[in-house]
């Protein structure tokens, strides 16, 4: 299946999966506790967004005239994690928590790169990808001029 098609199906199935996850949590901990967990995760997402938005403003001047500079260089990932935590639902919150931590973020990015590596096309129409058995190294260190084959 093409990765873009898989993502489209996943986005369309996400609400149904969230409902199923809610019913499973409801069955495990009860309705009031499930609602309480959703509210707490949304508040946590709000706090994460507030924390990382204040850290990414860069240079600020305090009331005493001192200049404070932020050393945060986390990029957009913590903001995306905070937004996913803010969205009500257990699956979105779980994905938000995964995105917040750098180790799991690297694991997730590696999986996405592997998924989309099969869908890559050559950037130029003149590029031909050859299998390892379809080419041989050129003798010598210099490459032949463009458009000519090496002489034997």
Residue ranges of the alpha helices (H) in 30-132? 31-55, 77-86, 90-100, 102-117
CA 92 – CA 98 distance, rounded (Å): 10
Look at residue 149 in the predicted model and tell me its pLDDT. Answer: 60
For 74-97, the pLDDT digits (tens) are 678 888 888 999 999 999 999 999
Q: Is position 142 within any domain?
A: no
pTM greater than 0.95 (yes/no):
no
Q: Is position 138 within any domain?
A: no
Q: Is position 89 within any domain?
A: yes
Q: Is position 37 within any domain?
A: yes
Q: Is position 91 within any domain?
A: yes
Q: Is position 136 within any domain?
A: no
For 28-79, the pLDDT digits (tens) are 999 999 999 999 999 999 998 888 776 445 555 566 666 555 555 567 888 8
Q: Is position 132 within any domain?
A: no
Look at residue 27 in the predicted model and tell me its pLDDT. Answer: 96
Domain count, the chain: 1
For residue 89, the enclosing domain spans 3-119
Q: Bridge partners of 60?
A: 68
Look at residue 56 in the predicted model and tell me its pLDDT. Answer: 45
Q: Is position 131 within any domain?
A: no
Place of tokens 């996850």: 21
Close Cβ partners of 98 (under 8 Å, ≥ 6 residues apart): 81, 104, 105, 108
């Amino acid at each position: 299946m093409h990765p873009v098609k898989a993502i489209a199906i996943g986005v369309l199935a996400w609400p149904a999966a969230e409902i199923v996850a809610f019913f499973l949590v409801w069955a495990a901990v009860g309705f009031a506790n499930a609602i309480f967990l959703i509210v707490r995760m949304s508040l946590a997402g709000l706090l994460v967004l507030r924390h990382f938005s204040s850290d990414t403003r860069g240079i600020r001047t305090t009331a005493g005239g001192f200049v404070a500079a932020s050393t945060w260089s986390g990029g957009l990932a913590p903001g995306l994690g905070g937004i996913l935590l803010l969205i009500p639902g257990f699956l979105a919150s779980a994905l938000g928590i995964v995105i917040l931590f750098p180790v799991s973020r690297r694991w997730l990015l590696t999986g996405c790169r592997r998924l989309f590596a099969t869908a890559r096309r050559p950037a130029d129409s003149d590029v031909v990808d050859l299998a390892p058995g379809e080419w041989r190294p050129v003798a010598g260190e210099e490459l032949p001029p463009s458009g000519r084959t090496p002489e034997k």
